[in-house]
Amino acid sequence: MRIGQGWDRHRLEPGRRCVLGGVEFPDCPVGPLGHSDGDALCHALCDALLGAAGLGDIGRHFPDTDPRWKGADSLDLLARVRALVAAAGWTVGNVDATVITEQPMIAPAAAAMRLKLAGALGVEPAQVSVKGTRGEGLGPEGRGECLTVQAVALLCREATYFTST
């Protein structure tokens, strides 16, 4: 087994499309700024998976200096990372992520995010956890300037090691 952690932060900009975990929040007045679609949840999971497999980080594989990734769907990037991890002989045991933001509210969309992320990862939704918390007025998240995501991933050598419940 191998464990990896990922962390990503994106500035929130008014009028920008808000997508997290592959789920769009059409009523959110701000969205994460990024070279791709800005989906910091997918990006943190990519880094956690790549780190666990010893494959570097998202910037190494999908640099923001490469025009191919401009506006890219981050669920696609996550699926590509899963393929890299699988090519290195690993399967996803589980992933867990916490989104720290004042908006959008994560809890109402967490189940939909889990489904989208599980699809990109080729796992059961029970192997994906997404939680939200607020900055409570503290730091850049609490002031609504950005959102931050912390993620961990467990990789296993055998796909049958963990079963969903």
**In the prediction, which pLDDT does 163 show?**
53
Residue 118 lies in a domain: yes
Q: Using one digit for the tens of pLDDT, what is the confidence trace for 13-27?
A: 999 999 999 999 999
| CATH number of the domain where residue 123 is located | 3.30.1330.50
Which residues have C-beta within 8 Å of that of residue 42, sequence separation ≥ 6?
Answer: 21, 22, 74, 75, 77, 78, 117, 120
pLDDT at 139: 95
SS (H, E, C) the chain: CEEEEEEEEEEEEECCCCEECCEECCCCCEEECCCCCCCHHHHHHHHHHHHHHCCCCHHHHCCCCCHHHCCCCHHHHHHHHHHHHHHCCCEEEEEEEEEECCCCCCHHHHHHHHHHHHHHHCCCHHHEEEEEECCCCCHHHHCCCEEEEEEEEEEECCCCCCCCC
Q: Is residue 9 part of a domain?
A: yes
User: Does residue 111 lie within any of the structural domains?
Assistant: yes
Check pLDDT > 60 for residue 159.
no
Residues ≥6 apart with Cβ < 8 Å to 24:
17, 18
pTM over 0.75: yes
Domain that holds residue 57: 2-156
Please report whether residue 104 resides in a domain: yes
Answer whether residue 161 is part of any domain.
no
Residue 80: inside a domain:
yes
Number of domains in the chain: 1
Is the pLDDT assigned to residue 161 strictly greater than 90? Answer: no
Question: Over the stretch 89-106, which tens digit does the pLDDT of each residue have?
Answer: 999 999 999 999 999 999
